[in-house]
Every structure is written in C-alpha cells, then in structure tokens.
Amino acid sequence: MSEPLSRTVVVLAAGEGKRMKSSLPKVLHPLLGRTLLGHVLSAAEPLAAQRTMVVVGHGADQVRAQLAEVAPEAVAVHQAEQLGTGHAVRIALEAAPEATGTVVVLNGDVPLLRPETVTALVAAHEGERAAATVLAAEVPDPTGLGRIVRDAAGRLEQIVEQRDATPAQLAVREINAGIYAFDLGRLRDVLGKLSTDNDQGEEYLTDVFGLLVSAGEPVAVHLAADHTETLGCNDRVELAALRRMLRDRVNAGWMRAGVSLLDPETTWIDVTVALDRDAVVDQNTQLCGGSVVGSGALVGPDVTLVDTVVGAGATVLRSHAVGAEIGPGASVGPYAYLRPAARLAEKAKVGTFVEVKNSEIGAGSKVPHLTYVGDATIGEQSNIGAASVFVNYDGVKKHRTVIGSHARTGADNMFVAPVEVGDGAYTAAGSVIIEDVPAGAMGVARARQRNIEGWVRKRRPGTAAAEAAERAVQGASSQVPPASEGEAIHGAGE
Ligand code: UD1
Ligand code: CA
C-alpha cells in the first residue's frame, strides 16, 4: 500500500449572499445547531485534512470569529474582491505553497452535504488517480446551476454555467454541486490559465475541468445518491426549505435509533443534540445546542431546551430551559423557566410558573408553584411554599440563600439573601426571612393579624358587603345563643 495522500480542504465563503438581504454573511446563517459554514466544515471533518482553509471576504471578521469558535485550526484566506470561484481557490493555494496531494473544494453554502458523501467522493477520486472529480447530482430543477456536459461516450467534457449555456445544455438535469476533489499539483498548473471570458467576467473554478480534459488529463464525475445533499441556499425561503429537510433527516435518524417523536413535523432537533433510547418527545418541541435527553424521559409538548441535560425518566412539560441540568426522574413544568446553572437533582420538582437560576435543588425537593429561586442551594426532600421569592439582588450584588434538607418553608416567603434556613426547619406563611433560621426551628417573620370588628358596617354602610355581613351576623345569632355585642362577630367557629 502506498502512503496516504496529504489532504487540504478549501471552503469558499467569501460571497455576500445578496438575496439573503442580511447583515450576516450568508454562510453564518444558522440551521439546526450549526451555521451553514459549520455544517460544511463538519461534513469535511472525516477527511482528517492536514490543512483547512476558508476563503473569506464579505463579513470576513464575522466569519473569522465563527472559525475561531468551531474550527480554530482552520486558516482564513482573505479574498478582497470576489473575482470568482477559480480566483478564490487560486489565492487559497497560493497561501499554502507547500501543500501537495488532494485538495477538496467545497462551496460554503451546501449544508445538507453528508460526511459519507464527501468521503466517497475523495475515495473515488484518489482510487482513480483522477486529476479532478466533481460531485454531481440529477435534480428535478437545474435552474441557476452549472451543468455537467458529457461527450457522446458519456465522458465529462466541461461544466457550463447557466448563464453561459446553450439551449441544449440548459436541458441537462445533471448539475455541479460545487464540491470537488483535485490533484493539487495538476490543479495549480491549470488555475493560472483560467480566463474571465464569460458572462460574469469571473475566474470560474468549473473551467478547470474543460482545461484538464483538453490537456488529456483524466477527470471524473461522482454522482450523489441523494440530490438534496447538494442543495445550496440563496435566500431565506430556500433556507427554510433546507431546515425542513434537515429536520426530517435528523428526526428519522432518532426514530430509527429508538426515540419516539410524537409529532415529527413540529419537533426541531439540532444536529448537536443527543437522545437516549425510549426518550419521548411530544409536539412543538425544540431541542437545541448541546442538549441531551436521557432514556425514558418525556419532553414536551411545547418545550424549548437549549444546552440542557435531562436525566433518565424525567418529565419536562411546556417549559423553557437554557443551560440547565434536570436530574433523573425530576419533574419540570408546566410553565417553568430554567435559566443557566439551574440544577435539579434526582426526583426534584420545579412546578408551574417557577423560575430557577444558578441554584441547586436537592434530590426529592420541590418548588411546586409560582416561585423565583435565584442563587440558592436547597438540600434534599425540602418543600418550598407557593409564591416565594429568593431575594438575591440588593441592587448591586447577588447573594445566596441556603435551605437545608427536610425543610418546610411556608407559602409567600421572601428569603432575603444572604440567609440560611437549617435542616428540618419550618418557616411561617407570609414571612420575610432576613435572619438565619436554625435547624429544627420555626421562623416567623410577619405582623400579627388584628381584626377591626364592625368596620364594614361603619365605614361602608349600604354596600353589598355591609348587607352580606349583616345577614351573616343575624344568621349566626339565630343559631347560637345570643352573645354580648363585642363577642357576637367572631364567637362562632373558634
Ligand atoms: C457555483 C458553480 C456552479 C454550481 C454551483 C453549486 C462556479 C463558477 N459555479 O455557482 O457550477 O452549480 O456553485 O452551488 O463555480 N465564492 C467565493 N469567492 C468568489 C466567488 C464565490 O468565495 O469570488 C464562494 C461563495 O461565497 C459561495 C461559493 O463560492 O460559497 C459559490 O459561489 P456562488 O457565487 O454561489 O456560485 P454559483 O453561482 O452558485
Ligand atoms: Ca451558489
């Protein structure tokens, strides 16, 4: 076996993408977890290239920033003016004079391309020792794309752009996907010979094929089995169509892997998400970023998870979570909002209209209703009463609240941080807890109730309330032995 060829990847991403009508360069538009460029780079990943170069131009700074994030080893090559795809590849290769072997060129706007397809293209190219191999596809509508023009024997003759094509060539439905493998040495030789003698006055990379054929060099066509992989994206309508196709592909993959998607058409799973077998995803659900859903967990309906980990057997209903950890068997929602570093241990519960941020909720602990938990640590098996607020912010700094294990805090409490409630402690409903409550103590922090008897009769005479009160007083006095004036109102029921 001969030594494997050195490989260079060149991604073309200098264009503006005018029809996107966006301040974001086209290749940076997001599509289910990656930018268009991110998808293309990831399709090229299995090639294990020695060198990855990205030709940048429009929005170069933004594209460089994206590269630093997703492909820090990639080298950006600046193309100040977009003089054509051939020009773009030429300047990329001029920036890597030492490179030899195979160069794989990919348009930056072909996000549905599968890694297997790129690998197969390169294997075919290297196996045949071709000078150049183009990825082609048979498409229902070739409008706007370069056509694969073959000779009578069926051999590739040239690639012709739509705007330069004859009527006979326009009828061809076999198109150039904009993905190629080249022998680097032979490509360098012909890149210098590209003319700008075409409708756009650009150096076309596609003209390399005609030049190589004329020089008697072997060129090849590799046909993609699934033409949707080669679809580019020119405007936001096409982007939305690509998003639906990718959704269907991703969803089919998860269903085949043992995940139940109850309504795949309204389930949007980023390519970066992972799900375990027997996870169930109900309708109108988005799973984004680095989210992970464990085995047997039920997520949805109406859930958005961003970078959130859901443990096995947990339930998340009609909720929004960002950067949260939901432990095994835990229960979230309906209508909960989990913010970054909300961490629920095993079997913890965060219920309805509850917001949690940067807090640990211990195993089996419950925050069932209408509560804000910010910057808190709650131990195990504790219960937080409804409508409580962890008052974490003094206007300048954030402070922590610590609640122990097996604590029972009353409804409508304010925990004014920093403050601590010990293990097994209780707090009374309606308390504003500003001092620590020791373990096992009952913290009461509220004014004692005072009733002003007869207030409504005196201050709101003639109102429906006064009449209702009057009837209640008379009803009570006809049922029980008459009492003295002062005792009559609250005498019964004590
Ligand atoms: C190109 C092909 C066409 C093919 C189609 C597939 C050429 C001449 N034509 O056409 O045969 O069917 O792709 O989608 O190559 N770019 C640069 N610098 C430039 C010009 C373009 O980086 O100077 C980048 C663009 O940002 C884009 C890619 O190259 O990512 C393709 O350029 P584009 O102008 O979209 O080429 P098409 O006309 O689509
Ligand atoms: Ca294009």
219 lines ligand 1 (CB under 6 A): no
Burial class, 283, CB count within 10 angstroms (exposed 0-12 / middle 13-18 / buried 19+) = middle
Residue 234 Cα to ligand 2 midpoint, Å, equals: 7
Q: Do domains 7-230 and 259-443 have the same CATH topology?
A: no
- Predicted local confidence at residue 476, as pLDDT: 83
Specify whether the CB–CB gap between 354 and 332 falls below 8 A: no
**CA–CA dist 334, 315 (Å, integer):** 10
The backbone region for 84, taken as left when phi is positive above 0, alpha when psi lies in -120 to 50, beta otherwise, is left
Q: For the CA atoms of 265, 270, 272, 276, what is the dihedral angle to 10 degrees?
A: -40
Specify whether the CB–CB gap between 377 and 415 falls below 8 A: no
| DSSP codes joined into one string, 45-108 | GGG--SEEEEEEBTBHHHHHHHHHHH-TTPEEEE-SS---HHHHHHHHHHT-TT--SEEEEEET
**CA–CA dist 10, 492 (Å, integer):** 88
- Predicted local confidence at residue 477, as pLDDT: 81
The residue assigned the tokens 């609250």 is: 490
Q: Cα 269 to chain center, whole Å? A: 8
Contacts of 323 (CB under 8 A, 6+ apart): 306, 307, 308, 339, 340, 341, 342
Q: Which ligand is the nearest neighbour of the Cα of 206?
A: 1
- Predicted local confidence at residue 350, as pLDDT: 98
Binding-site entries for acetyl-CoA: 386, 392-393, 429, 446
**CA–CA dist 331, 239 (Å, integer):** 36
Binding-site entries: 12-15, 26, 79, 84-85, 109, 146, 161, 176, 234, 339, 357, 372, 383, 386, 392-393, 429, 446
Which CATH superfamily is 259-443 part of? Hexapeptide repeat proteins (2.160.10.10)
Specify whether the CB–CB gap between 42 and 115 falls below 8 A: yes
Which atom of ligand 1 lies at the shortest distance from residue 56's CA?
22
**CA–CA dist 49, 250 (Å, integer):** 26
Determine the 3-state secondary structure of 353 from DSSP.
Answer: strand
**CA–CA dist 105, 183 (Å, integer):** 11
Which atom of ligand 1 lies at the shortest distance from residue 88's CA?
18
**7-230 classified as CATH 3.90.550.10:** yes
Contacts of 68 (CB under 8 A, 6+ apart): none
Residue 303 Cα to ligand 2 midpoint, Å, equals: 35
Instruction: Identify the sign of the CA torsion 211, 215, 220, 221.
Output: positive
Q: Which two tokens stand for residue 170?
A: 């326009």
- Predicted local confidence at residue 482, as pLDDT: 53
Specify whether the CB–CB gap between 27 and 109 falls below 8 A: yes
15 lines ligand 1 (CB under 6 A): yes
Contacts of 353 (CB under 8 A, 6+ apart): 335, 336, 369, 370, 371
**CA–CA dist 443, 440 (Å, integer):** 10
- Predicted local confidence at residue 486, as pLDDT: 47
pLDDT tens digit string along 252-266? Answer: 999 999 999 999 999
**CA–CA dist 157, 212 (Å, integer):** 9
Residues with CB in 5 Å of ion ligand 2 = 232
Q: For a substitution probing ligand 1, which of 83, 85, 163 has the most ligand atoms within 8 Å of its CB?
A: 85
Say what the pTM is.
0.92
161 lines ligand 1 (CB under 6 A): yes
**CA–CA dist 48, 222 (Å, integer):** 20
Domain residues of the chain, as ranges?
Answer: 7-230, 259-443
| DSSP codes joined into one string, 24-55 | S-GGG-EETTEEHHHHHHHHHGGG--SEEEEE
pLDDT tens digit string along 425-460? Answer: 999 999 999 999 999 999 999 999 999 999 999 999
Q: Which two tokens stand for residue 186?
A: 């032979």
Determine which residue's CA is closest to atom 31 belonging to ligand 1.
107
422 lines ligand 1 (CB under 6 A): no
Binding-site entries for Mg(2+): 109, 234
Q: Which two tokens stand for residue 271?
A: 């390519």
10 lines ligand 1 (CB under 6 A): no
Q: For a substitution probing ligand 1, which of 107, 139, 242 has the most ligand atoms within 8 Å of its CB?
A: 107
**CA–CA dist 262, 284 (Å, integer):** 10
Q: What is the mean pLDDT of each run of 10 residues along the chain (494 residues)?
A: 84 94 96 98 97 97 97 97 96 96 97 98 98 97 96 96 96 97 97 92 96 98 96 95 98 98 98 98 98 98 99 98 98 98 98 98 98 98 98 96 98 98 98 98 96 97 97 84 48 33
**CA–CA dist 221, 19 (Å, integer):** 30
Q: Which residues are part of the catalytic machinery?
A: 369
- End-to-end Cα spacing for the chain: 97
Contacts of 386 (CB under 8 A, 6+ apart): 368, 369, 370, 371, 411, 412
